Amino acid sequence: MYKNYNMNQLILPLDVEKKLQENDIAQHIHQLVESIPEEAFAPFKQETGCPAYHPRMMLKIILCGYTQSVFSGRRIEDLVKDSVRMMWLAQGYEPSYRTINRFRVHPQMQELLRQCFVQFRCQLVEEKVIDEQAIFIDGTKIEANANKFTFKWKKSIETFHANLIQKSNDIYESLVREQIMPAIERENEEQLSIEELGQVAEQLEKVVADYTTKMEETENSTLRKELRRQRKTPKQLLKQVKDWQKRKQTYETDLTIMGPRNSYSKTDPDATFMRMKDDYMKNGQLKAGYNIQAATQNQYTLAYDIFPNPTDTKTLKPFLQTIEQQFMALPTYIVADAGYGSEANYEELIQTRERTPLIPYGMYRKEQKRAYKKNLFKTVNWLYDEETDTYTCPNGKNMRFQSI
């Protein structure tokens, strides 16, 4: 005997919410998104065209897909048609993968995600899952989806650019000195701009055109040969100046994209080349990636930011500023590992922000060992005289600190 199974029979209830278990992840996502203020969704509203899907619904199905480790737009579209959670969150709508991907790359999506983090933290505090006494900061490097051979190095670009400036200045001065072309009005005496290189190229084109006209007008083969010889130098310089103009444009664009960084990837200009933790070849290979900083408590991520710095030391100050401006007020205690331990960071936390850092410095653990404390050749173990500002070495000689 089998239980009743009939595909032609209408089954009740029709409400898919009844299929969800108590405290299902979909219900928590629903509560989180519904707690976001309506003003955060105002930029998504369109006055023209077909009525759009509600951004709350779109955000819910994307977050639900992410909780299931589904990140592809096509797979999220399939889940909306197959998953009970997705059906309930979408309330019968079935947006295509194109609609999902367009929503994800909307210019206001970053602000919407920030609102999610803010509301998520408020819920955690309200339910007393976390307190507001401390945050734990750490970073991790994530490899970018970029070709590893598309690197651009700042030092190389600056070297090539400096050589180009020197050569172009020398050529320009020689052309003016030999009266091949008149002097032009320059904005900067140190280097020729792209527009000024274009003016030099125009003058050289006129010179080359004059020689060509004279060659066509004369029938004397000896004179024509001499004119061709005289035209050779400005013609070569014209080709070189045009090449310099293109290269200078490229160098300036590269330096603008790079900003304060030392490298970037041509296929992913936001990525910076850095050493990753997973070095399978054991050769310190540089790969394009990002340094993701996260502030957590009780295993919940409360704030995040992305930095191009390979080390964590220089990311603490701007990350704290991001937390204060976009996510929440800083708690009393800031906890991090030794990678953040530096005098500048301690000064920032204690004096500027009046917070208590629970951050060890690089040598802290080593200094606690007995062998280190008994090592007489370590300066920190020498006797110090405050009045004379001198140290006494193991040989009994007084030594004054001069420089590091």
The yes-or-no verdict on residue 217 having pLDDT over 90 is: no
Residue 107 is assigned to a structural domain of this protein = yes
261 band by pLDDT with thresholds 50, 70 and 90: very high
Are 343 and 395 members of one domain?
A: no
Task: Say which amino acid occupies 245.
Answer: Q
Domain boundary among 208, 230, 263: 263
Residue 381 is assigned to a structural domain of this protein = yes
What's residue 181's pLDDT? Answer: 81
Residue 250 is assigned to a structural domain of this protein = yes
Phi, psi of 91, rounded to the nearest 5 degrees = 55, 45
Query: How many percent of the chain have pLDDT more than 90?
Result: 52
| Nearest partner of 61 among 38, 93, 21, judged by Cα | 93
Whole-number mean pLDDT of the chain?
Answer: 89
pLDDT tens per residue, range 326-343: 999 999 999 999 999 999
Average pLDDT for 276-295: 85
Asked if residues 58 and 95 have their Cβ atoms less than 8 Å apart, the reply is yes
335-341 own/partner pairs: CB under 8 Å, 24+ apart: 335/134, 335/135, 335/136, 335/137, 335/359, 336/136, 336/137, 336/138, 336/312, 337/138, 337/312, 338/362, 338/364, 338/365, 339/139, 339/311, 339/312, 339/313, 340/137, 340/312, 340/313, 340/316, 341/313
Are 306 and 396 members of one domain?
A: no
Are 26 and 119 members of one domain?
A: yes
Are 297 and 329 members of one domain?
A: yes
Are 304 and 318 members of one domain?
A: yes
Average pLDDT for 141-156: 91
The yes-or-no verdict on residue 303 having pLDDT over 90 is: yes
Are 247 and 161 members of one domain?
A: yes
Going by their DSSP bridges, the two strands 272-275 and 286-297 should be labelled as antiparallel
Phi, psi of 19, rounded to the nearest 5 degrees = -80, -15
Average pLDDT for 6-27: 80
Average pLDDT for 100-104: 94
Are 321 and 378 members of one domain?
A: no
272 band by pLDDT with thresholds 50, 70 and 90: very high
Cα 361–366–369 angle (5° rounding)? 135
Domain span including residue 316: 134-150+266-353
Are 157 and 253 members of one domain?
A: yes
Angle of helix 109-126 versus helix 25-34 axis, rounded to 10: 110
Strand partners, 41: none
Are 145 and 289 members of one domain?
A: yes
